[in-house]
Amino acid sequence: MNQTLIIILLVAIVYFAYYVLFSPWSQVLGKIFYSFKTTKKLVALTFDDGPNEPYTSKILDVLHKYGVKATFFPVGQNIARFPEILKKMDREGHIVGIHSYNHALLAPVLTPNFKEEIAKSQKLIYELIEKMPTLFRPPWYFRQPSMLKTVGKSGMICVTGTFGSTWEVFQVSAKKIASDAIKVTKPGTILTFHDGYNNKTASRTRTIEALEILIPKLQKDGYTFVTVPELLKIEAYQD
């Protein structure tokens, strides 16, 4: 086998591994919800990695300003830092899902079943808002069979989405973030943004500024913002 064929084979293996384990739309390992097929101009805003103050509160203020309800996938350690913000999300009509407890890079590999990550998050969220989330979003969209099995046994469904902007996590300009998000939005899109950074605090000023561009633009274009459960026509919380 010559060098060119080896390189092509390695690239193919890497691409396939990414598609199976990380891509938002792959169904190889099990059912994943990444959008909803509809002709109606519906779009769901989602935020990962919070709560992260003061940025999560500022995002909540922007959502309130435009009458938008969103879906948040907070990290357990960050909830423990800012428990009142989680209560505020719920109180203002937003939906809370699970996004792991530690958001540690190697957690899905070192603890493949993810039971403790999910259970600790469920317990903490229930203690604060007395609701058990239906939605689970894996960190970095990474999933594997043991994790998905635990998710199913926990009565949850796995949700990914479309990144509003590939560069949003790096806090590039608000215009760039908003422009990217507008381009990828179509009926039934689940847009992913970040109100935090893994299990740490970090500035999300550009995301907040981008929302002030994105939301009125999409509303002007006839879009209605809904929560993920509304979009997928499922219950937000378990009985």
Q: Where are the domains of the chain?
A: 31-238
For residue 179, give the nearest of 222, 209, 223 by alpha carbon: 209
Instruction: Of 127, 38, 146, give the one whose Cα is nearest residue 87.
Output: 127
With b meaning 16 or more CB within 10 Å and e meaning fewer, what string describes 17-36?
Answer: eeeebeebebeeeeebbbbb
Write the pLDDT tens digit of every residue in 58-100.
999 999 999 999 999 999 999 999 999 999 999 999 999 999 9
**Per-residue model confidence (pLDDT) at position 12:** 80
- Reply yes or no on whether the pLDDT at 234 is more than 70: yes
Residue 2 has pLDDT above 90, yes or no: no
Is residue 108's pLDDT more than 80? Answer: no
Instruction: Say yes or no to pLDDT of 1 above 70.
Output: no
Band of residue 231 on the pLDDT scale cut at 50, 70, 90? very high
pLDDT at residue 11 in the model: 80
- What is the average pLDDT across 146-156? 94
| pLDDT the model gives residue 35 | 97
Please compute the mean of the pLDDT values over residues 118-138 and round it to a whole number: 97
**pLDDT by residue (tens digit) across 133-144?**
999 999 999 999
Strand partners, 132: 238
Per-residue pLDDT at 37 exceeds 80: yes
pLDDT at position 16: 80
Q: Is the pLDDT of residue 224 over 80?
A: yes
Q: For residues 85 and 179, what is the distance between their CA atoms, to the nearest angstrom?
A: 29
* Per-residue pLDDT, 77: 96
Give the C-alpha separation, 144 to 234, whole Å: 24
Tell me, what's the pLDDT at 18?
80
40-58 confidence digits (pLDDT tens): 999 999 999 999 999 999 9
Position 143, amino acid: R
Q: Which of 205, 161, 200, 155 is nearest to 72 (CA)?
A: 161
How sure is the predictor about 203, in pLDDT bands with cuts at 50, 70 and 90? very high
Alpha helices in 142-222 (DSSP H): 145-153, 174-184, 205-220
Task: Identify which of 8, 15, 121, 9 has the alpha carbon closest to the alpha carbon of residue 74.
Answer: 121
More confident residue, 34 or 16: 34
* Model confidence pTM above 0.85: yes
The number of beta carbons lying within 10 Å of the beta carbon of residue 110 is 8
CATH 3.20.20.370 fits 31-238, yes or no: yes
Mean pLDDT of 149-159: 95
Q: CB–CB of 123/161 below 8 Å?
A: no
Q: What is the pLDDT of residue 185?
A: 98
